[in-house]
């Protein structure tokens, strides 16, 4: 991926989003309606399995916590942090 950004003379920035509040995360998962043909909804048990399999990222990245801020505020946080990367 880095080579593509070099060829395009652009900056590649990774953003890692997580929800630190398990109750909020679970509510979001259980209330989500995807409505995408062929893509079933994910049960909370699968989220827990994936969490156990998770390997922390090693590359430079911007990390945001989605638990308490609105999507609009999170976008602003990312844009502000992009200047620091």
Domain assignment of residue 16, given as a range: 2-82
Q: Are 2 and 60 in contact (CB under 8 A)?
A: no
Rounded average pLDDT over 16-25: 96
Task: Give the gyration radius of the chain's Cα atoms.
Answer: 16
**How many domains are contained in the chain?**
1
- For tokens 């048990």, name the residue: 45
Confidence at 82, pLDDT banded by 50, 70, 90: very high
Burial 15-38 (b: 16+ CB within 10 A, else e): eeeebeeeeebeeebeeeeeeeee
Rounded average pLDDT over 62-81: 96
Q: What is the pTM of this model?
A: 0.77
Rounded average pLDDT over 53-66: 94
Helix, strand or coil, per DSSP, at residue 64: strand
Instruction: Enumerate the β-bridge partners of residue 17.
Output: 64
């Amino acid at each position: 991926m880095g080579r593509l950004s070099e060829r395009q003379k652009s900056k590649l920035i990774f953003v890692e989003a997580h929800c630190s509040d398990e109750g909020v995360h679970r509510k979001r998962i259980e209330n989500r309606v995807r409505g995408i043909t062929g893509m079933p909804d994910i049960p909370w048990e699968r989220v827990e399995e994936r969490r156990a399999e998770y390997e922390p990222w090693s590359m430079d990245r911007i990390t945001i916590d989605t638990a308490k801020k609105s999507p609009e505020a999170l976008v602003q946080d990312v844009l502000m942090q992009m200047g620091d990367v």
